[in-house]
Amino acid sequence: MDAYRKDFPAINQSINDNKLVYLDSAASSQMPTSVIDEVARYQMNDHANVHRGIHTLSHRATMVYEKTRQDLSDFINAKNTNEIIFTSGTTESINLVAQSYCRPKLNKNKKILISHLEHHSNIVPWQIVCEQTQSSLEIAPINNKGEIITEDLISMIDESVVLISISHVSNALGSVSEVKKIIQAAHKNGVPVLVDGAQSIPHIKVDVEELNADFYVFSGHKMHAPTGTGILYGKEDLLEKMPPYKSGGDMILEVKFTGTTYNDLPYKFEAGTPNISGIAGLGAAVGYLRKIGMINIESHEKNLLDYMSSELKNVDGINLIGNADNKIGVQSFTLENIHSHDIGTILDHQGVAIRTGHHCAMPVMEFFGISGTARASLALYNNKEDIDCLVAGLHKVNEVFS
C-alpha cells in the first residue's frame, strides 16, 4: 500500500522540522490528488447551479452531482439513487432522521435506544428530540473491553422503541459492533435501525442490503473527500413517508401561498444549493477507494493495527483503552500520570499528529473513569514507519516527564 502514499500531498510534508506522521484520520482524513484536482477541475470548468438550469454548465454540474449519487449508491449497494440523500455530514444526517422520522412518532410512551459507546453526534440529537416529545432515551451498556453488550441491547428492544441508533465502529475505541445481529433482533420487533457509519465507511466494505440497515449515515471527510459532504442512506419506503427536514429551493414541486407540494426523493431532503464541488470531490474519493479495493484497505489496516497495538505495549506506563475482540482503525491509550494533551503537544513537536481528549465521546471516557485518551488512528496511507515514529515519540514524552 505504500505506493499510495505519494497520492496524498498533505502527508508528504514536514511539521516542526520532522516528517509529518498523520495518525488522526478518524477525525478527518487527507485527500488524494485525484480528489483535490476534481474539485478544482469542477470549479474551473463545470460550475453552475444544479437542477435549475438548461444551459450547458448547469447540465454539467447536475451530471457531476448525480453521478456521485450513483457512485455512492453502487458503493454501499443501495437499491437505487432515491435512497442516497446528500447532507453536510453524519451529524446532519442523524439530525434529519431524529427530526423528520422520529419526532412525529415519539411521545411519552416511546423510546429511542442508543448505546454507551456513541459519538456526541449520535447522542445529543436524541436527547433533544426526546426532550421535545417527552419520550425517553435508553442507553445500552458496554463492557470493560469497550464493546456494546449485544445481548443486553437486544433485551431492551420492544415495541415502544421507535428507533435504535448505533455506530458501526466506535470513533473513540475502534470497537466494531454486531450491527447485523442487532438489526435482525430489532426487525423481529418491527423496530428500524440507524447505523452511524462515520468510522466504518473508510475502512471496510459496507453493504446496506446485506446488513439490512434502515438508515446508514456517514461523512465525506472521513473517506478522503472534502468536508461539508455527507450521506443519509435510507430505505426508500421509509424516506417516502418522512416529511422534509430543511425546506427551500429544489425540494418543492410547487409553491403557492395556499400550500406547497414537495418534490420526490431524493430532492425532498435537499433544500437549497448543495455543496456541489464537495460532492464532485466525494465522487472522486469513492472512485479512488474502489480502485484500491476496500478488501485491500481492510487487510492492510488490520495488520497495521495489530502492529500498533503490540508495539505500544512496549511504552512505559501505557494503558491501552478499548480492547474489543473486533476492532479497526484506532487505538486509544493513556500514559500513567501524563495528561493526553501533554502527550499530544510533545508528539506534535516531533511531527506526530494524534488526537487527544474525549473524542466527542464523553460518556465513554466517563465509563472508563478518565477525562480523555490519546488516540492514534489509521488510514490506507499509514505504514509501520509511522507507528515506529509514534512509539519513539512516546518514549520521548516519558523522558520529558521523568
Partner 1 sequence: MANLKSDKADITKLYKELVIKHASNPYNFGSLKSDAVRSTGINPLCGDKLEIYISTHNDTIKKIRFEGVGCAISIASASMLTEILKDTSISEAKKIAWSFISELSSNRELSENDFIKNNKELSILCAVKDFPTRIKCVNLSWQTFLSAFDDDIKITSTE
Ligand X SMILES: Cc1ncc(COP(=O)(O)O)c(C=O)c1O
* CB closer to partner 1, 8 vs 267: 267
Partners of 167 in the β-ladder? 196
- Shortest distance, CB of residue 146 to a copy of itself, whole angstroms? 17
Over the window 229 to 268, marking each residue x when it contacts partner 1 by CB under 8 A and - when it does not, the resulting string is -----------------------xxx------x-xx--x-
Over the window 30 to 59, marking each residue x when it contacts partner 1 by CB under 8 A and - when it does not, the resulting string is ---------------------xxxxx--xx
Site for a copy of itself in 258-277 (CB under 8 A): 259-260, 271-277
Taking the CA atoms of 23, 24, 26 and 30 in sequence, report the sign of the dihedral they define: negative
Sequence-distant (6+) residues with CB within 8 A of 6 are: 12
Over the window 6 to 35, marking each residue x when it contacts partner 1 by CB under 8 A and - when it does not, the resulting string is ----------xxxx----------------
29, 115, 133, 199: residue in contact with ligand X (rule CB under 6 A): 199
DSSP code per residue over 301-351: HHHHHHHHHHHHTTSTTEEEE---SSB-SEEEEEETTB-HHHHHHHHHTTT
Over the window 280 to 319, marking each residue x when it contacts a copy of itself by CB under 8 A and - when it does not, the resulting string is ----------------------------------------
Whether 75 and 286 have beta carbons less than 8 Å apart is answered as yes
Q: Verify binding: residue 175, ligand X, rule CB under 6 A.
A: no
Rounded to whole angstroms, what are the CA distances from 148 to 140, 167, 176, 261? 7, 10, 9, 43
Nearest CA-CA partner of 87 in 262, 233, 289: 233
Is 389 designated active site? no
* CB closer to ligand X, 24 vs 196: 196
**Cell numbers linked to 8:** 496524498
3-state secondary structure (DSSP) of residue 353 = strand
Residue 297 and residue 4: Cα distance in Å, rounded?
A: 11
396 binds, among partner 1, a copy of itself, ligand X, none (CB under 5 to 8 A by kind): partner 1
The residue range among 118-126, 294-302, 310-318, 323-331 that interacts with a copy of itself, by the rule CB under 8 A, is 118-126
The residue range among 116-124, 176-184, 235-243, 391-399 that interacts with ligand X, by the rule CB under 6 A, is 116-124
Whether 114 and 123 have beta carbons less than 8 Å apart is answered as yes
**Burial code of 331-355, b = ≥16 C-beta within 10 A, e = fewer?**
bbbbbeebbbeebbebbbebbbbbb
One-letter amino acid for residue 333 of the chain: F
The residue range among 10-18, 89-97, 151-159, 349-357 that interacts with ligand X, by the rule CB under 6 A, is 89-97
135, 177, 219, 373: residue in contact with ligand X (rule CB under 6 A): 219
Q: Verify binding: residue 135, ligand X, rule CB under 6 A.
A: no
Residue 165 and residue 193: Cα distance in Å, rounded?
A: 6
* CB closer to partner 1, 163 vs 361: 361
Q: Verify binding: residue 400, a copy of itself, rule CB under 8 A.
A: no
30 binds, among ligand X, a copy of itself, partner 1, none (CB under 5 to 8 A by kind): a copy of itself
First to last CA, the chain: 38
What are the residues binding ligand X (CB under 6 A)? 89-91, 119, 121-122, 167, 171, 196, 198-199, 219, 221, 248-249, 272-273, 360
Catalytic residues: 360
